[in-house]
């Protein structure tokens, strides 16, 4: 198949952050499928645009074997404010349509669009109309609900039109993929999407990367650099945004300042400076911040730490999501303290791979950390349990093959 993928956050080869679609397309390309990607020029975590895009509206490159990427303009205001983020979303809508119409002129079997943001669906609808090709929709997060819960969407008119756009996309899409079973239930039961138009291919673990590091990476030097020896180390990897509500971890760190506990934050986002100021104001010595790093480097930090932290704001919408970082922790044989209710909680409990705590409940967070301090044997057992569980149910290669079989089958009908 030749697929036109629309994904605003498709990563550069050396970019930090989530790599779901980079990994997926590489696996598909290795099987002989052709993929053209329309992606934004701005990194979603840092808001930084690569210098080679300066004064360019579009930029095309042969990204990898059988993968061509067309980068299009995104407003530089992405990570500065909520208004800036909305500007970035809609600047990509216009540039993505332009790139799809005038730079992606090949004949495609299928258009595939991955949301959030939901606005990318406008690109899919437009290109599907002009290219006379079907499109498939992927929902990685329920929009507009999550945008409303995190304050990205507050205008009542925009909220109304967002729900209308969402309904139109579900109606027009050949098929919609969701990444958690809870989203599948919401689409079928609440949003009345026909069950035969919804499939479930979840997020996954990249064992090709983690297994090599488990065998070959010596964590001693990195642990020494981070001053982790003799301490229980907790690692958070990911966005530092409003939705993540990492303030709860800073408060926990303050209450644990006299115990041998170290928090390691890796990543960037709109709230990072606020978090740094919180740590400075409290004179905390048990918190360290690491900037944006590549996926392989992030796995090394996870391996150097004892426990992974998965954290989101307390909101009903987030009960439907899996946190990508959770699969990275489990693939590195690390237990997870899970401050996300719903399907993420069920994942940890089914795997016996960590401890659930109520989101934004600092006392429960401290209790979970204290449990690992008092029972260090749980670190190994929960880590081993998690690794075995994701190996069985969430292996990227297996899921990528299922995904392409579904799409190929739908297109052939």
pLDDT of 77? 65
pLDDT of 18? 59
pLDDT of 79? 58
Query: Nearest CA to 144 among 156, 129, 126?
Result: 156
- Tokens representing 131 are 């290219």
Report whether 268 contacts 204 (CB < 8 A).
Answer: no
CA distance 338 to 56: 42
pLDDT by residue for the chain (413 residues), tens only, comes to 999 999 999 988 766 555 789 999 999 999 999 999 999 998 766 667 788 888 899 999 999 999 999 999 998 766 566 777 778 889 999 999 999 999 998 899 999 999 988 999 999 999 999 999 999 999 998 888 888 877 777 888 888 999 999 999 999 999 999 999 999 999 999 999 999 999 999 999 989 889 999 999 999 999 999 999 999 999 999 989 888 999 999 999 999 999 999 999 999 888 999 999 999 999 999 999 999 888 889 999 999 999 999 999 998 889 999 988 999 999 999 999 999 999 999 999 999 999 999 999 999 999 999 999 999 999 999 999 999 999 999 999 999 999 999 999 988 77
Query: Nearest CA to 97 among 123, 75, 73?
Result: 123
| Strand segments (E) across 45-143 | 58-64, 67-72, 110-115, 135-139
Q: Which domains does the chain have, with CATH numbers?
A: 2-204+395-412 (3.40.50.2000), 207-393 (3.40.50.2000)
Q: What are phi and psi of 44, to 5 degrees?
A: -70, -30
For residue 2, give Cα distances in angstroms to 70, 144, 190. 15, 30, 33
For residue 75, give Cα distances in angstroms to 44, 81, 152, 158, 395. 11, 12, 16, 19, 35
pLDDT of 412? 77
Contacts of 61 (CB under 8 A, 6+ apart): 68, 69, 71
Cβ neighbours, 10 Å, residue 80? 14
CA distance 240 to 312: 10
CA distance 372 to 375: 5
Count H helices and E strands in the chain, helices first.
16, 14
Cα 26–Cα 28–Cα 32 angle in degrees, nearest 5? 110
pTM: 0.89
Query: Nearest CA to 176 among 127, 124, 234?
Result: 124
Report whether 311 contacts 236 (CB < 8 A).
Answer: yes
Query: Nearest CA to 18 among 225, 323, 276?
Result: 323
Report whether 34 contacts 404 (CB < 8 A).
Answer: no
How would you class 294 by CB atoms within 10 Å of its CB: exposed for 0-12, middle for 13-18, buried for 19 or more?
middle
pLDDT of 17? 57
Pairing state of beta strands 307-311 and 336-339?
parallel
- Tokens representing 165 are 């756009």
How would you class 277 by CB atoms within 10 Å of its CB: exposed for 0-12, middle for 13-18, buried for 19 or more?
exposed
Q: Which helix (H) or strand (E) holds 255?
A: helix 247-255
For residue 189, give Cα distances in angstroms to 185, 298, 385. 6, 38, 33
CA distance 23 to 396: 8
Tens-place pLDDT, residues 93-142: 999 999 999 999 889 999 999 998 899 999 999 999 999 999 999 999 88
């Amino acid at each position: 198949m030749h697929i036109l993928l629309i994904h605003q956050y498709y990563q550069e080869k050396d970019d930090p952050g989530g790599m779901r679609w980079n990994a997926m397309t590489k696996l598909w390309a290795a099987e002989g499928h052709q993929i053209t990607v329309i992606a934004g020029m701005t990194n979603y975590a840092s808001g930084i645009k690569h210098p080679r895009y300066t004064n360019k509206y579009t930029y095309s490159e042969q990204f990898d074997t059988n993968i061509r990427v067309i980068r299009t303009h995104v407003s530089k205001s992405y990570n500065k404010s909520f208004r800036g983020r909305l500007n970035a979303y809609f600047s990509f809508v216009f540039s993505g349509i332009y790139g799809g119409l005038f730079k992606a002129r090949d004949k495609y079997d299928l258009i595939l669009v991955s949301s959030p943001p939901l606005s990318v669906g406008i690109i899919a609808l437009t290109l599907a109309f002009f290219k006379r090709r079907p499109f498939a929709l992927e929902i990685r997060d329920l929009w507009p609900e999550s945008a409303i819960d995190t304050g990205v969407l507050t205008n009542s008119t925009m909220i109304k039109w967002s729900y209308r756009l969402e309904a139109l996309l579900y109606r027009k899409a050949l098929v919609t993929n969701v990444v958690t079973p809870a989203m599948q239930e919401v689409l079928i039961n609440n949003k009345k999407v026909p069950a035969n138009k919804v499939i479930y291919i979840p997020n996954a673990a990249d064992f090709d990367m983690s297994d090599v590091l488990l065998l070959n990476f010596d964590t001693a030097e990195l642990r020494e650099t981070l001053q982790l020896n003799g301490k229980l180390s907790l690692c958070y990897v990911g966005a530092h945004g409003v939705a993540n509500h990492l303030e709860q971890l800073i408060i926990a760190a303050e209450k644990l300042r006299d115990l041998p506990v170290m928090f390691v934050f890796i990543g960037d986002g709109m709230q990072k400076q606020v978090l740094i100021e919180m740590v400075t104001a409290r004179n905390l010595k048990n918190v360290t911040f690491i900037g944006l790093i590549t996926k392989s480097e992030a796995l090394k930090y996870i391996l150097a730490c004892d426990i992974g932290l998965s954290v989101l704001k307390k909101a009903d919408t987030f009960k439907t999501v899996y946190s990508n970082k959770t699969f990275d922790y489990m693939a590195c044989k690390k237990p997870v303290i899970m401050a996300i209710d719903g399907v993420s909680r069920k994942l940890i409990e089914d795997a016996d791979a960590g401890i659930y705590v109520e989101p934004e409940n600092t006392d429960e967070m401290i209790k979970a950390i204290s449990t690992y301090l008092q029972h260090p044997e749980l670190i190994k057992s929960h880590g081993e349990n998690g690794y075995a569980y994701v190996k069985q149910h969430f292996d990227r290669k297996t899921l990528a093959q299922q995904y392409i079989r579904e799409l190929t089958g739908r297109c052939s009908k």
